[in-house]
Amino acid sequence: MALLRPTAILLGKELRSEFRTRELLTTTLVFVLTVLVLFSFTFDPTTAESRRFGPGLLWLALLFAGSLMLHPSFAREQANDTLAALRMAPIEPVSILASKILANLCFLLVAELFLLPVFAALYNLRLAPILGRLFLVLLLGTLALSTVGTVFSAISSQARMRELLLPLLLLPLLTPALIASTEATRGLLEDPPALSAPWTGLLAGFNIIFLTVTWLFGEYLLEE
Amino acid sequence: MGQGTATVVESTGPGRRTGAGAVETVGVALLLGFAGYAALFVAPNEFTMGLIQRIFYFHVPSAWTGFVAFTITLVASIAYLRGRNPKWDWLAVSAAEIGVAFLSVVLITGPIWAKPVWGIWWTWDARLTSTFVLWVLYVSYALLRTLVDEPERRAVVSAVFGIFAAVDIPLVYFSIWLFRTQHPQPVMGAGGSLDPRMRNVLLLCWAALLGVMLLLLRQRYRLEALRYEVEELRMEAARRGDSA
């Protein structure tokens, strides 16, 4: 397909430039850890309470982290005006967006991989029996965050006060995804664990809808 | 708008007439007065809530009018991206700001009603929360516009954001509805139990508020057109200054 190869090549470039510095990964990790620890101070939860609050804390922390960390996605192309070079390439402009969405998805998922055991230990949760289903929820929730986050980082990179603007644009829009991910995760932490069909469905629907909107209208953000 | 500025604009721009037409304004004012009278004196008294229920005749139509405004923003945003006519951008921003104004009315009249009836100003109920999220969403839209200087860039990025926001509305409502609900159930359409007189007054009030919205929209659109013209003239002046 005409879209697949350029996207794969650009994804390789995104991953290489990130893993050379690991900036996004380390800052996300440290940020989420800090927030999780601070939460436990402010609420001092018991085991039963952490079961109730834990998923919300985790997703809120991830969302805040995403709204801060996705900003460089487009902003760092500006330093040497490399976006102009990408635009000149004979490829569909959507593949630039697609590669960045996938790259951000990878970074956030790797960060979550490190965070999960810490989260489980800090909040006294047993994640081993639900790992497969939890991964599905994480994947869908993180895809929602990285899709909208990447598109909005293309928007905010063209504005003043961009670091501040991205969370303002992103957080209200992601409200449905936040609720659905939190509720789906909470269902998995209940006894017995259950994967909630309506919430997982809503998450999947959210992704399908916004991937389609991105595919239809995203390229307008890349033009000069 | 002073006489002097109006004559300057007269010669060139798109916003030739700056005042709303007197006939429409008087018409909407009369309609609004009539609707207010009907809401206060014609509609029957609600049995359990009493007088305070009458705020509903402006609360609910404001919400509907706000949705109409956001729909205009969505359509205008798509039309702008397709054809790049700046007029669609003016319409999109005008409708978005007016939608925020109407939603503010909803969010203010809601608690005024809720305090005596529910005993609390605010509850994290489905419809309240969704409306609040929606309000924040379009305030961010307005904020985004102030932070992008170049007019065409601003039009493009806010059009894309406007589309994302509009697509998000049903998702916000559905997700929060799934989350919880204790709001009075919808009174129109299937399963509604609204007295026909109440319904007629409600629709009359909606017509009046739609009229207000159209007047505001026209006014705000002209303002945006004038702003655009000023910006163009400034750039033109700067160009001439450079070449001289």
* Chain B neighbors of A210, CB-CB under 8 A: 164, 167
The answer to whether B160 contacts A158, with C-beta atoms less than 8 Å apart, is no
CA-based nearest residue to A214, from A140, A164, A156, A146: A146
Q: A28 pLDDT band (50/70/90 cuts)? A: confident
Judge whether A100 and A12 are in contact, CB under 8 Å: no
Judged by CB atoms closer than 8 Å, whether chains meet at A199 and B178 is answered as yes
Report the alpha-carbon angle B68-B188-B66, nearest 5: 20
Distance in Å from the first CA to the final CA of chain A: 26
* pLDDT, position A1: 59
**How many other CB atoms sit within 10 Å of the CB of residue A39?**
21
**Beta partners for B50?**
B46
B142 touches chain A (CB under 8 A): no
Residues in chain A within 8 Å Cβ distance of B161: 152, 155, 169
Contact A175 B164 (CB under 8 A): no
Residues B101 and B93 sit within 8 Å (Cβ to Cβ): no
The residue type found at B34 is F
Can you tell me the distance from the alpha carbon of B88 to that of B129, in angstroms, rounded to the nearest whole number?
Answer: 30
Q: Residue A182's CB: how many other CB atoms inside 10 A?
A: 23
Separation in Å, CA of B139 to nearest CA in chain A = 9
Per the prediction, chain A carries an average pLDDT of: 86
Q: What is the per-residue pLDDT for B135?
A: 94
> Residue A160 is nearest to which of B147, B165, B168, comparing CB atoms?
B147
Picking from B160, B167, B171, the nearest residue to A155 by CB comes out as B160
Closest of B225, B99, B227, B85 to residue B162, by C-alpha: B99
Q: Which of A76-80, A115-119, A155-159 has the lowest mean pLDDT?
A: A76-80
Q: Of A24-28, A100-104, A167-171, give the lowest mean pLDDT range.
A: A24-28
ipTM value for the complex: 0.88
Higher pLDDT, B163 or A190: B163
Per-residue pLDDT of chain B (244 residues; tens, 9 = 90+): 334 344 344 444 444 555 557 888 888 888 888 888 888 887 777 766 777 778 888 888 999 999 999 999 999 999 999 999 999 999 999 999 999 999 999 999 888 887 887 777 777 777 788 889 899 999 999 999 999 988 889 999 999 999 999 999 888 888 877 776 544 555 544 445 677 778 888 888 889 899 999 999 999 999 999 998 998 898 889 988 876 5
Contact A162, A156 (CB under 8 A): yes
Give Cα A202 to chain centroid, integer Å. 17
Give residue-wise pLDDT tens across range A50-108: 777 888 888 988 998 888 888 888 888 887 788 888 888 888 888 889 999 999 999 89
Say whether pLDDT at A116 is over 70.
yes
- Residues B224 and B16: beta-carbon distance below 8 Å: no
Query: Bigger pLDDT: A59 or A45?
Result: A59
Q: Is the pLDDT of residue A193 over 90?
A: no
> Rounded to whole angstroms, how far apart are CA atoms B72 and B74?
5
Residues from chain B that touch A151, judged by Cβ atoms under 8 A, are: 160, 164
Which chain B residues touch A209 with a CB distance below 8 Å? 167, 171
* Side-chain-facing half-sphere of B27: CA atoms under 13 Å: 10
- CA–CA min distance B3, chain A (Å): 36
Contact of B176 with chain A, judged by CB distance below 8 Å, is answered with yes
Say what the pLDDT of residue B111 is. Answer: 84
Long-range contacts of A157-160 (CB under 8 A, 24+ apart): A157/A71, A157/A74, A157/A75, A157/A77, A157/A78, A158/A221, A158/B148, A158/B153, A158/B157, A159/B144, A159/B147, A159/B148, A159/B157, A160/B147, A160/B148, A160/B149
Which residue type, as a one-letter code, is found at position B234? R
Which has the higher per-residue pLDDT, A111 or B244?
Answer: A111
Q: Quick one: which of A83, A35, A64, A216 has its CA closest to A149?
A: A64
CA contacts within 13 A on the Cβ side of A149? 31
Distance of CA A82 to the CA centre of its chain: 24
